[in-house]
Copies of this chain bind each other. A is one copy, B any other.
């Protein structure tokens, strides 16, 4: 017999005891995006344990009992890339009853943007291999990770149209043509060069530096950096970034 319990919000018709509801596992998965050679990439791991041994998968881990969700995502990112202050964003939570073969595990999906030139991800105990995959040449993935990855991509593509996050994929200093390449890879479309340039400059969010690119076999382009302070200040006044 179940006695009536201090319910959370309400326990509906069934009067199950509170403890019956505390049997969920919780994980976070991080879809890590990078940009190289004019194409968008995703960092995947090859699993070193059951279930889905040897399958490629999105890096993730169980959430610790005393850990916030965002902290968990941050931990995974640092563990895998060795980088701090990576841009990441929660985008969707996946909880299908049968999504995990071992038990009822809910996973919170995050996506992240990293500067691929900054680091070399390394394999470790929990992953046989870590590798960048072109977004158009993905291997089959374990769990429901194909669904998760596609949803991450869809969310990123939406977000990138209204917020200046494309910069997160580039080094501090970049040329406008490099920026254009990022947006073309992200949105899978071409832009007219002069018009893209005009549009970006008119937003007044990139600052020209007194520096040009080097080691190129043609006229070197001017380098810019993103003025995050100006953007943040402007965001308060609800001015939006649209591409």
Listed in ascending order, the chain A residues whose CB lies under 8 Å from chain B are 6-12, 14, 18, 20-27, 29, 47-51, 57, 59-69, 75, 79, 90, 92-93, 95-97, 100, 102-106, 108, 125-127, 158, 162
- Chain B residues whose CB sits within 8 angstroms of the CB of A7 once the complex forms: 49, 62, 126
Residue of B nearest to A10 (CB): B126
Q: Is the CB of A75 within 8 A of B12?
A: yes
Instruction: Name which residue of chain B comes closest to A103, CB basis.
Output: B22
Residues on B with C-beta less than 8 A from A59 are 9
How many copies of this kind of chain does the complex include?
2
CB contacts (< 8 Å) of A60 on chain B: these are 9
B93 and A61 contact, CB distance less than 8 A: no
| A contacts with B: majority SS | loop
Q: What 10 A-B pairs have minimum CB-CB distances, sorted nearest first?
A: A10-B126, A69-B95, A24-B24, A93-B93, A21-B62, A24-B26, A9-B60, A22-B25, A21-B25, A93-B108
Assembled-state Cα–Cα distance A51/B10 (Å): 11
| Chain B residues with CB under 8 A of A57 | 9
Decide: A93 near B96, CB < 8 A? Known: A9-B60, A26-B24, A62-B9.
no
CA distance A10 to B45 in the complex (A): 11
Q: In the bound complex, how far is the Cα of B208 from the Cα of A57, in angstroms? A: 50
Task: Give chain B residues whose Cβ lies under 8 Å from the Cβ of A22.
Answer: 23-25, 103-104
**Interface contact B103-A6, CB-CB below 8 Å:** no
CB closest chain-B residue, reference A29: B9
- Docked complex Cα distance between A87 and B227 (Å): 39
A186 to chain B, nearest CB (A): 15
Contact A102 B18 (CB under 8 A): yes
Residues of B contacting A21 in the complex (Cβ-Cβ under 8 angstroms): 25-26, 62-65
Check A61 against B24 for contact (C-beta < 8 Å): no
Q: Contact: A68 with B95, CB < 8 Å? A: yes
CB-defined A-B contacts under 8 Å, sample of 17: A6-B49, A8-B27, A11-B126, A12-B79, A12-B126, A14-B64, A18-B25, A18-B103, A21-B25, A21-B62, A21-B63, A22-B24, A24-B106, A63-B95, A69-B96, A106-B106, A158-B162
